[in-house]
Structure 1
Amino acid sequence: MMTHVTTSLNIHCTDSDTDKLSVPTNADHNDNTVAGWKWCVFTRSPTANQQPFVVCFAGTTPHTLLMSLTDFLIESREKELLALSCSRSMVCGEHFKVRKAFVSTTTRHLLQQMKQMFLQMQQVPRGISSPIPVVFVFSGTGSAWLGMCKHLIENNHTFKAVIGDIDSSLRRYVPWSLTKRLAGSYDVEDMIFGPVSIFACQVALTRLWQELGVQPAAVIGLSLGEVAAAHIAGILPLDEAVRVVFHRAKILSNAKEGKVILVRNLETAKVEAVCSNYKGQLNIGMFYSPVACSVTGDRKAVDALVNEIISVHKPEIKVTDLNCCRAYHSHHVEAGQHQLVQELNHLRTEDPSVKMISTVSPEYTTHDISLTKYWGQSIRQPVQFCEGIRTAGSHKNTIFLEIGPKTVLRAHVRDIFFDRSSAPLCLPSLSYPRTNNDLLQSAAVLYEHNLHIKWDALMTDRTREGSG
């Protein structure tokens, strides 16, 4: 629920990009609380320019939230500027349920954002009293991009430490260093390194989100993403998850070459009907939504199908070549399915701590996912992403948090929930070619939805060392 609140205020934006955020002289260097509202500042570095920071506001009602915003603007204009570092644990008005957060790079940028909010009379949120479930969504093969982890490895201790743990486990199988390759922007098209790097990025991002205080109500993965999802759910210990992801990548790299395309704006039932004319040559690889799916299989057959659906169906049909040199989830990986089951003999699993929704079949239980044969099925069977996401989003207020180098669900979420007046909120962790701005923006939105964000988890190591 949202409500409009208006005010009259003369807002001044300074011209200097190096101005620090201001607080009243009697503040405790963490926050300012005045008669039912609060604001506080989190900076990633107390000295560096152009580094993103978050300013959080909270109130007991939309009106007091607006008072908090107004108070901050007045103080930033009239009081002596005082830089803040996040030197203590910051409680950003957790007992206040009406919240707003801004992610900015300079004081001027922040004040411009706030001014725009007032001038456009944007809606101020009402309080959200009940907890909102957050579902972690793990992306699949092809989501990696050059340098995707470099910034976080350099600036976040938790992220770097998790990458190091995965690196140590991976050394059983490869002679190279995962950490060095990620920090050095190694070629993500490499058919072993690419999938492993996506898995590592997903696990490290999850641990960072958990350190921020965001815990998943459930997890779901898209193909390769199921390995990280099973680890985060507690089903696969880290060493076993690394074992699965390595052998999975190795076996698929040896599969027969083929082609994969994405077909959008055409009912998947119609695509399936066309595929049936190419028996033994084509398969539906992934069901993204009722009007989007991937087709995988023999290169010539895929090209013929493209010509057929474009000539028969409406011009708004969109076909995208996914540039995959292997026909994932097709008859081309039939032998690989059996090889993977053999490699994963005596797979060790544990009881889950978080619910995992399978995209091999959303009806599968934890017992099914814990079986070795499941991981063979996961590379051969079509990915039931649409059905799995609908299952995960059965709660009307569910928030989907995408865990991976790129987003996948955001492009399809409106079509998946076609029967609702509005689609569930879908937030990114990373997206090409950003660094950590997406993560900060998503954390700010989660804060506004009544999640208690531990902002100091995003401090750089240098900031930690320099804090009192």
Structure 2
Amino acid sequence: MKSIFLFSGQGAQFKGMAQDIVEKYGSARALIKNIGDITGEDIEALLWHTENEVLSRSDKSQLAIIAVETAILAVLKEKGVSPSAVAGFSLGEFSALYASGILSFEDMIRIVQKRGRIMQAACDKIAARASEGSGALGMSAILKLDPEKVIELLKPHSDPKTGIVFAANMNSPVQTVISGTAEGLSLAEELCKEAGAKRCVRLAVAGPFHSPLMGEAAKEFEEVLKGFEFKNPEIPVFSNVTGKKVKSGEEARANAVLHLTHPVLWTSEEKEIASLCEDLKPCRLLEIGPGNTLCNLWRDSGFASDELTCSPTGTLEQLNKIIE
């Protein structure tokens, strides 16, 4: 059976993740050690002995999640399970770039480490401004309101240069995440509730990710990426920025920068993935990483069926169901 790998994004992390997998499989242990050698970080301590509040920092969580994803990837490869195509949600796109052959393993790890530090520095600046009275910037999930309606409601307040709130993640037909200033989020939540949204849930994140408000971080990250090679993909890989297949390494490089300031078009990617699965039948989706968020989004996508399911792999029990 053909497999499409979906890599989890930031926010899926938790203390102790994948410990059972790493303890069981030597390939996963070797990979974790390799990441530690590349980064100079104690990855085992990061994954298993870091409290969730600290682990949620971008300079911690991004490296931690990538470590878990690539450890699971190593076990699957050892057991003969390889992807026919890949996609990653937000941060997870970097694991997808590695799995598709666009980035080497070492380059991907170094890029993610630098990206996490840049984004955390941006979040720290945002927090400092908030404490001075400008109000916290962040994200909110809008539930049970059509994504196109959310975009329409926010449009008057979403100018790339002067806007205060933006549609950030097109998660599913019933869930859209927005990014903005404190004023922008409150305004958008009120507009969306009046339009019929069932709930608006503020997210425990440190910044307005995937919006023009991350422009300063994007410029710094662009300079970082100039020092790395992006090859053309060896297997299909989908982009959050376009919702389509990535055609070249240079497109992937450009999208990696746009990633910080542009929305995640996950519903568009799911549509492309569903179409590809029709050509690959029989086909399955595997969520690579901690948790089952992407499996849940697939369930809500309208494309899920008995013949096209998504299975999580983040625990030893879940992973063994795939490889045994």
With normalisation by structure 2, the TM-score equals: 0.86
Structure label with greater radius of gyration = 1
Residue 425 (structure 1) shift: 0.3
Which amino acid is the alignment partner of residue 277 of structure 1?
P
**Paired residues of 2:233 and 2:249 also in contact (CA < 8 A):** no
1:197 maps to which residue?
64
Q: Is residue 212 of structure 1 aligned with residue 97 of structure 2?
A: no
Is contact 1:358–1:369 with CA below 8 Å preserved after alignment? no
Residue 240 (structure 1) aligned to one of 85, 88, 107: 107
Output the CA distance in 2 between the equivalents of 1:423 and 1:296.
35
Task: Verify: 1:322 aligned to 2:191, yes or no.
Answer: no
Secondary structure at 2:58's aligned position in 1?
coil
Write the distance in 2 (CA, Å) between the matches of 1:374 and 1:368: 10
Query: Secondary structure of the residue that 1:379 maps to in structure 2?
Result: coil
Alpha-carbon displacement from aligned partner over 1:39-81 (angstroms, at most 9, x marks no partner): xxxxxxxxxxxxxxxxxxxxxxxxxxxxxxxxxxxxxxxxxxx
In the TM superposition, what is the alpha-carbon distance from 1:417 to its structure 2 partner?
A: 2.5
Deviation at 1:392, TM superposition (A): 1.5
- Structure 2: which amino acid aligns with 1:357? F
Equivalent residue, structure 2, for 1:184: 49
Distance 1:425 1:371, change over 3 A: closer
Provide the rounded CA distance (Å) in 2 between the counterparts of 1:417 and 1:149: 30
Higher helix share: 2
Return the alpha-carbon distance in structure 2 between the equivalents of residues 421 and 178 of structure 1: 38
Listed as ranges, the matches of 1:346-361 within 5 Å are 346-361=227-242
* Counterpart Cα distance in 1 of 2:111 and 2:273: 24
Structure 1 residues not aligned, in runs of 5+: 1-131, 444-452, 456-468
Change (3 A) 1:369 1:321: farther
Q: SS of 2:237's equivalent?
A: strand
The count of aligned residue pairs is 302
Partner of 1:308: 191
Partner of 2:134: none
Q: Do 2:246 and 2:252's aligned partners in 1 also have CA atoms closer than 8 Å?
A: no
Correspondences of 1:167-178 after superposition (within 5 Å): 167-171=36-40, 176-178=41-43
Which residue of 153, 160, 180 corresponds with 1:274?
A: 153
Match 1:437 to one of 287, 295, 317? 317
In the TM superposition, what is the alpha-carbon distance from 1:147 to its structure 2 partner?
0.7
Give the superposition deviation at 1:369: 5.2
Cα 1:216/1:181, change in 2 over 3 Å:
same
Equivalent residues of 2:46, 2:55 under 8 A apart: no
Structure 2, unmatched stretches of 5+, are 128-136
CA RMSD of aligned residues (A): 2.1
1:143 aligns to 2:16 (yes or no) = no
Is the CA contact 1:139–1:222 (under 8 Å) kept in the aligned structure 2?
Answer: yes
Whether 2:275 is the aligned partner of 1:391: answer: no
Give the distance between the partners of 2:192 and 2:264, measured in 1 at CA: 22
**The one of 138, 142, 166 aligned to 1:259:** 138
Q: CA deviation at 1:370?
A: 5.3
Change (3 A) 1:169 1:284: same
1:425 aligns with 2:309: yes
Q: Which residue of 2 aligns with 1:67?
A: none
Distance 1:393 1:422 in 2: 13
**2:229 counterpart SS class:** coil
- 1:135–1:399 CA contact under 8 A, matched in 2: yes
Q: Structure 2: how far apart are the matches of 1:184 and 1:363?
A: 38
Pick the aligned partner of 1:335 from 186, 193, 216: 216
Counterpart Cα distance in 2 of 1:368 and 1:218: 16
Pair 371,265 (structure 1): closer, same or farther in 2 beyond 3 Å = closer
2:29 aligned to which of 154, 160, 167: 160
Change (3 A) 1:169 1:370: farther
The answer as to whether partners of 1:359 and 1:385 remain within 8 angstroms in 2 is yes
**Contact between 1:282 and 1:295, CA under 8 Å: does it hold in 2?**
yes
Letter in 1 for 2:152: A
- Distance in 2 separating the partners of 1:235 and 1:311: 44
Q: What does residue 299 of structure 2 align with?
A: 414
What is the SS of the residue equivalent to 2:263? coil
Greater length-normalized contact order (CA 8 Å, ≥ 6 residues apart): 2
Percent identity reads: 23
Deviations 1:258-305 (A, max 9, x none): 111111211011111111232301111111123321101112211222
- 2: distance between equivalents of 1:325 and 1:134? 34
SS at match of 2:55: coil
The separation in 1 between residues aligned to 2:50 and 2:29, in whole angstroms, is 15
Greater shift in the superposed pair: 238-247 or 254-263: 254-263
